[in-house]
Structure 1
Amino acid sequence: MRKPIRKAVFPVAGLGTRFLPATKAIPKEMLPIIDRPLIQYAVDEAREAGIEQLIFVTGRGKTAIVEHFDTAFELEATMADRGKVLDILAATRIQPGNLVAVRQQVPLGLGHAIWCARAIVGEEPFAIFLPDELMIGAPGCMKQMVEAYNQVGGNLISVLEVPEDEVSSYGVIAPGAKVSASLTEVTGLVEKPKREDAPSNLIISGRYILQPEVMRTLECQEKGAGGEIQLTDAMARMIGTQPFHAVTFAGKRYDCGSKIGFVEATLALALDRPDMADETRAMAKRLLGL
């Protein structure tokens, strides 16, 4: 019987240098897309998928992320005294014991960040969320992946189809047999291939379900590109030893690690909200001179 996906790792120790000076004192994961910080979207997606325990791999200056999911007694008491509804804060409350923070003291890469959570993950399969990748869908990306996991087990990564002239900017899968319209066997991973060498146009996006054996692979993993311990290298070593599949995400991805992607996500989500869509559309037309 397959173990359920109960735990998720959120690597949030990065410095956010592309958003300086805004991120000098505020974690980039706390920058808001409209009225929710970026990390909140990832956590909401995790909880929708049935994730019970959230594991934040943090660094210095990242305590605001953990505090965001704590109970703010003063704020709630003040709001209650003024007759304000507290429902808006419900998603920021995590049950006691369901949030764990561990430190990545040295920035040695994504693979190293995941390895830092090994003691909390234990011998269970687990999910990984890269909060910079804002995935919007119904159901959410991780819920789609958990449904696929319940079908095939093993390791899964989320992928998106992009135009062939964009593949050189991403990690790309080498596809094997099709299991279904959205589920494909993975036979290899290629990092930023030339267009003519790319085995597919399915790029790796920031959601994973991995078996605990990846931690032992990361334990012995040598440094790869950029002098860092790469998660992609560890996953590639597991292909062929365990089932490995890609789930083509039915939804939209916004790269909020870039300024343009962040602006695009804000505009797209505002246009999708009934309370903001009309005014946002009118504002955009004014700015464009339409």
Structure 2
Amino acid sequence: MKAVIPAAGLGTRFLPATKSQPKEMLPVYDKPAIQYVIEEALASGIDDILIVTGRNKRSIEDHFDKSYELEYTLQKAGKDRVLKQVRNVTNLADICYVRQKDLKGLGDAILCAERHIGDEPFAVLLGDSITKSPQLCTKQLIDVFNKYGKSAISIREVPCDKICSYGIVEADKVEGNVYKINSLIEKPKINQISSNLAIVGRYILTPDIFDKINQTEPGFNGEIQLTDALSKLDGVYGVKFDGKVFNIENRLEWIKSSIDFAMSDEEFCDDLIDYMKRFL
């Protein structure tokens, strides 16, 4: 299975930090956000990855490319541990790139991947969304897809006053954490839907999604919404995710994500706790 990682957005909520640096390359503790996403795909058994980029996103390619000068300098300085980390980034996966020339929404970004994907099911992992759980979010979706043979998307409960910020689904429970989705709507008003099950940002899609995207008119915010195209598919399953989700969509969520990952590092967590206590 191949994976598509949309990473073409402008990241306007992080300006001026994202004026020349992609939002997906903002560091979350000690790694760029998009590296966590790629590592999730790899850990789920996917090593053929297409990143959909845009203008001013070249640093994403550079990050996963070989850096001869840096490696030489580290090797000469005897910094073997750091050198190994740098080389591991380069050798993570087979990564290809395609540009979304016009920012017309997530649906259009997925459409840019059609030639690379062909007639096969594929994963979509949003480049600014990090998940954290003992059970990998994407792997759970793959398992459900293999069982039911239909597209599968990750969902979770969100506070009712936040549903207007997400794609929301109405669904019936099938078994365990698996749901059969009845309807989807992108960023609804509170009176438009009775559910608080939000799409997380992880998908396993059947290739007929490309035809559905072509049939989809611009929706919320004048963009071609993937959620609208999903509603046209013949059957979609939702997998309720009970791990942590970090949407790198604003400064607060970005800071929270860095703190969470730093707290998982035994080398620094105690010092971080002592530092934060000064503000409490």
Q: So what's the TM-score if we normalise by structure 2?
A: 0.94
Which 5+ residue runs of structure 2 have no aligned equivalent? none
Give the 3-state SS of the residue equivalent to 1:179 in structure 2: strand
Cα contact 1:157–1:246 (8 A) shared by 2:
yes
Alpha-carbon separation, structure 1, partners of 2:132 and 2:179: 21
- Unaligned ranges ≥5, structure 1: 1-5
Match of 2:249 in 1: 257
CA displacement at 1:90 relative to structure 2? 4.3
1:145: Cα distance to partner? Answer: 1.6
Q: Specify the alignment match of 1:60 in structure 2.
A: 55
From 90, 95, 100, the equivalent of 1:93 is: 90
> Residues 189-268 of structure 1 correspond to what in structure 2 (within 5 A)?
189-195=184-190, 197-238=192-233, 241=234, 243-268=235-260
Whether the 8 Å contact between 1:141 and 1:250 is mirrored in structure 2 is: no
Q: Which of 143, 150, 165 in structure 1 is aligned with 2:139? A: 143
Q: Which whole-Å CA distance do the structure 2 matches of 1:285 and 1:95 have between them?
A: 37
1: CA distance, partners of 2:218 / 2:190: 26
**RMSD (Å), alpha carbons:** 1.7
Shift of 1:52: 1.8
> What SS class does the counterpart of residue 245 from structure 1 fall into?
strand
Give SS of 1:158's match. Answer: strand
Structure 2 distance, partners of 1:146, 1:84, is 39
CA distance in 2, matches of 1:108, 1:201: 26
Q: Compute the TM-score of the two structures, normalised by the length of structure 1.
A: 0.91
| Contact persistence 1:172–1:189 (CA under 8 A) | yes
CA contact (8 A) 1:167 1:201 kept: yes
1:195 Cα offset (Å)? 4.0
User: How far apart are 1:28 and its partner, in Å?
Assistant: 1.0
Which of 24, 39, 46 is residue 51 of structure 1 equivalent to? 46
Q: Which moved more, 1:31-40 or 1:212-221?
A: 212-221
8 Å CA contact 2:37, 2:125 repeated in 1: yes
Change (3 A) 1:28 1:220: same
Fraction of identical pairs, as percent: 41
**Quick one: distance in 2 between partners of 1:43 and 1:95?**
8
- SS of 2:154's partner is strand
Aligned equivalents of 1:142, 1:284: Cα separation in 2: 33
Query: What's the CA shift string for 1:4-45, capped at 9, x where partnerless?
Result: xx2111111111111111111111111101110011010000
**Contact preservation (8 Å) 1:175, 1:199:** no
Aligned pairs, number: 278
1:197 to 1:224, Cα distance in 2 relative to 1, 3 A:
closer
In the alignment, which residue of structure 2 is the partner of 1:3? none
Alignment-mate amino acid for residue 116 of structure 2: I
CA distance in 1, matches of 2:265, 2:192: 41
- Kindly provide the amino acid, as one letter, of the partner of residue 88 in structure 1: Q
What is the letter of the counterpart of residue 17 of structure 2?
A
Does the 8 Å contact 1:214/1:235 carry over to 2?
Answer: yes
C-alpha separation in 2, matches of 1:12 and 1:95 = 18
Match of 1:157 in 2: 153
- For residues 160 and 106 of structure 1, do their structure 2 counterparts lie closer, same or farther at Cα, with a shift above 3 Å needed? same
Matched, 1:126 2:122: yes
Q: Are the aligned partners of 1:31 and 1:37 in contact in 2 as well (CA < 8 Å)?
A: yes
2:267 aligned residue (251, 254, 275): 275
- For residue 287 of structure 1, give the secondary structure of its aligned residue in structure 2: coil
